[in-house]
Amino acid sequence: MQSIIIQACAQGLLRPRAAGHAPRPRVAAGDRPTGRTYDTAGAARLKGDTVNIEILKKQELDDGHIMVARTRLSEEDKNALVNEAIEEIGHNLGISADEVPDLREAVLERTGHEQLRQLVTTYAAQMAAPSVINELGVKTMFAPEVDTSSVDDIFDKGPIVLPIQFTIKPSFELDSYGPLEVTMPAVEVTDDMVSTQIGQILEQVASYERADEGALAAGDRIVCDIVTTQDGAMLDAVTGENHHISLERGAMPDEFIDQLVGAKVGDTREFDFSAPDPTGASGTQKVPGFHTSVTVRERYARRVPELTDELVQKQFKGKDVADFRAMVKKTMEDDLAKQWDKERDNLVDQALSRRLVGKIPDLYYEKNRDDIIANMSAQLASQGMNLQQYMQQQGLDERGFGMQLMMQAMSSLRQGFALDALYAHLGLELTDEDLDKALKAMAPGHEDEVRANFDHNGAWFVLREMAERMKAHDWAMAHTTFLS
């Protein structure tokens, strides 16, 4: 289940959104929804609830992997999409229509005309894309694109023609459609693993004791008089008397801690130090220019308790040390078993993907990688991080990160195409229950909002592709023998 959702994100089907906003469905494989009327006279034309398109011309590029559809939007529909786009851009910028006299002017002031034109044109193309897909009956992948430099200004009067570019979804076969065999790693928790886990538990219940006699060590806490400046300017947050500071790694910069290690109560140390760059923008990942003078007044040493029967009975409500070790081991075994139950889904999809026949063109890997980066960047931004900080946290350089992304792109594509092939070969059919299950997996807690969104833009084919892959995955799970 989780692997299929990850594939959907990697293929541009889902984008993280702010709290209170349901994910906007993205374009993928095509399927013609019901409840639409078609006019086959003249140019292809779809009369929908919200977007009225006219496909003037379509062109295939890159051996049929890319299709460009020159699509005309009426002035009425164009204006509606412009207003919708500005509202969405305003929301992303933190601008509410209720708080400004003119939302478009407020957004324009923040973005400038050219950037706003590009954003609104791209938005209009993406919102019109489902109607194009439904009209042409094609199956596509990734978010649609538009060359905004070749389009008239969307803010001008009259209709507009958008050259919307789609990546056509290829089809593959498997070299076998029979049952699978997957070897599961043994679930084993060793005594050393239990000891390590208990050590981490004891660290969590560590206490601090007054210890003015000894030398400072990393992990201690101190009371001190401190004066700190940055580039000569006083930093009030790190200046004052009887200031409480933790010398734990991560709580203060490593250079600050290292300069104080070994000092004793009564000592004064004056030194320069640098701090990690919170934005990740600095090439060195550190901000220099800090200077401080620290006089240690009190020292509190961190004491990790010894594991005894008395501690077990008082702190953990157990009988004795042996009983506590057995309890920790049982918890670890249960957690490990749950992890491997989740991993089974991924292992089955991997096994199925190894049966894929044929070479996937490079452009699909590159587009999938770009979409993974876009989704990851959005998710990290919601956590106050960026890609540079993530790489630093994971201990990756740009080369290692790029390799990791390409491997992920390859894996998700192969698994998705293998599930498509299995679904088609078996002749499976979707039920309402299958669609409900996929909708719940796609946007848990926001099902009604996403359903309304699909009704609005006609992109039900996004849900159908996910439901088809989930149904193929369930069949594969039911026809897999798991070996120890």
Which of 18-27, 174-183, 333-342 has the highest mean predicted lDDT (pLDDT)? 174-183
Q: 49 near 456, Cβ under 8 Å? A: yes
Q: 324 near 316, Cβ under 8 Å? A: yes
pTM listed for this prediction: 0.65
Of residues 188 and 244, which shows the higher confidence score? 244
Range in 24-38, 316-330, 414-428 with the lowest mean pLDDT: 24-38
Read off the pLDDT of each residue in 218-234 and give the average, rounded to a whole number: 93
pLDDT tens readout for residues 282-300: 444 678 889 999 999 999 9
- pLDDT for residue 471 is more than 90: yes
Mean pLDDT for all residues in the chain: 85
Number of CB atoms found within 10 A of residue 46's CB? 22
Residues 387-423 as b/e (b if ≥16 CB within 10 A, e otherwise) read: ebbbbbeeeeeeeebeeebeebbbbbbbbbbbbbbbb
- pLDDT for residue 173 is more than 50: yes
Helix (H) or strand (E) holding 225: strand 221-230
Number of CB atoms found within 10 A of residue 251's CB? 12
Helices H, strands E: what count in the chain?
14, 16
Number of CB atoms found within 10 A of residue 378's CB? 13
Q: 467 near 434, Cβ under 8 Å? A: yes
What is the pLDDT, as a whole number, of residue 50? 52
Read off the pLDDT of each residue in 219-231 and give the average, rounded to a whole number: 93
Q: 110 near 95, Cβ under 8 Å? A: yes
pLDDT tens readout for residues 81-103: 999 999 999 998 999 888 899 99
Per cent of the chain over pLDDT 70 is 88
- Write out the two tokens for 200: 């981490």
* DSSP assignments along 364-409, one per residue: HHHHHHHHHHHHHHHHHHHTT--HHHHHHHHT--HHHHHHHHHHHH
Per-residue CA distances from 216 to 43, 162, 257, 259, 427 (Å): 80, 67, 9, 10, 70
